Chains A and B, each alone.
Chain A
Amino acid sequence: MKSLFRGALLAAILGGAGAANAQQLAPSPTLDAIRARGHLECGVHLGLPGFSFANDKGEWSGLDVDYCRALAAAVLGDATKVRFTPTSVQQRWPVLQSGQVDVLSRNTTITYSRNVTLGVNFQGINFYEGQTFIVRTASGAKKPSDLENASICVAAGSTEERMAADYFRERNLKVSIINFQKNDDAIAAYDAGRCDSYTAGLGALAGQRIKLKNPAEHTIMTETISNDPQGPVTRWGDERWQAIVRWVLNGQIAAENLGVTSRNVDDFRANSKNAEIRRLLGADGGFGAMLGLSNDWLFNAIKQVGNYAESYERTVGKGSPLGLERGQNQLWTRGGLLFSPPFQ
């Protein structure tokens, strides 16, 4: 009896050690929590057409929203298992820090001080843009330095608020910067004539412009005064979750580079001879399992949401009201800045 018990114990220890050896996974509290509750919690913008915008039926769409859907598909196998938490410029950090959301995908500029003082990590870049200004075409202002003595509406606490102050101070141009609590309040005040200009990233301006009473009367300046790279944000800690967030984005970009789209992804998984495509789609290599996910994690993301290009064109690109060029957000092979590290 005693030896039987000892044998069982030994087997259990060996078995357990074996299992641990096979996986070598640090625990991921975030992933466990997502599985337990059955959906991903994603922090998005309050409402910015092209990036995260809820229509009158409450259906969210946009580039940042698409990323969350892809992440949900990768983690839970279902792109619809995601709940969106709209956050203002001010709310986004506490919402992420306190664990209310698993990831923040919210048109948020990556900056040094945010990274090192807020306890957050930026997991790659899904949108490159620069800060610029929108003005009434009739004003005749063509570039930011034409804005002397202008009133400029901006969201308080945004990077744009300080960037604009820096830009005009350095050039000894006096402007009046009016800080609103929400982007929507700032754009509404601009529309009402309180300000001569509203400043934000190029993409955000293109999105906000749709909301103006008469979009045709306004011009977005082409000259930018900063580089605003944006991408999904996570809390510090939980390295495995951070890796998942990072590599889902990389996976979407890699898929575009490899020519994998939501339409041909089945065919590629079944028939492709390309080793990287096979690893990406889970036909080979067991890459999903390395993160504690199913091997078809990126297959699901691409099948259900699409690769980066599909997402871009649908939300902010030519297929959308924003009609933005790919520009910097093109793959590096086509003159842009996007690339994914190899799925090796």
Chain B
Amino acid sequence: MPKRSDWFFTCLAWLSGTGILLTVAILVVFLLLRGIGSINASLFFGETPWFDAITGRKPVFDGIWPAVAGTFSLVALSSLLSIPVGIASGVYLSGYAPKRLRVFLGFAIDLLSGTPSIVMGLFGFTLILFLRKTIFPEAGTCLFLASLCIALLVLPYVIRTTETSLDAVPEHLRVLGPAMGLTKSQSIRHVLLPLASRGILSGVILSIGRASEDTAVILLTGVVAQAGVPQSLWGKFEALPFRIYYLAAEHKTPLELEQAFGTALVLLTLTGVLFLTAVFVQRSAEKRWKKK
């Protein structure tokens, strides 16, 4: 075994590691340098007093508040739709499903998680076309539709994390419920779910991050550049990632460009914080098992 090739291999490995570190550092630092100056009250609320903006008394025209509100309602709605369904599915797959069914459903879930997000958006779009042809002639793309598609997009993650967290509960705790004379559903509810809760929670937080950053889905299901704060489930809306995309291509003034950098930094901070929270929750979950 020639030593030189080993040495070469090691060098390459370290080089690629350093390269990646540098790239990410450049990306974040560049965004910080360009964006930090534009993060202030006027980035969010433009010329409108913040209290009036948040309570919705006055519309905001040149700030990103409507986009923040849009993203927030999108995430809240899609979480409402996906989290209960996802956790219930995970519980069913982990505890109740017969083996053959589990394999089949597992395949469906994998397929769903492998579906590109633009196809999920296209699905929402075709759904509207379909509804127009059949029952609702005036159906249009809207906040609710976008939430539905985003919920479908993150559903596989929630299901999988619930399933794996439940499967990861050690054997001696798994027999605890039945040993105490609980029925299967009681033991899942009062023993297994609380034990697996942190793993599930971290999965949920990560799925919220995904929901807040996806652009391709909302691009086809009702996001627009100027909609104001979302008024109803059936209206158009704004969103942070779309605003970044739109401004990158269409900024007309240096001011708008500054705003775009600020917005990008805000979104990165948001997903970063969500990521750190998820890591924190996950760590505390792992610590619990080590205390045997």
A and B associate: no
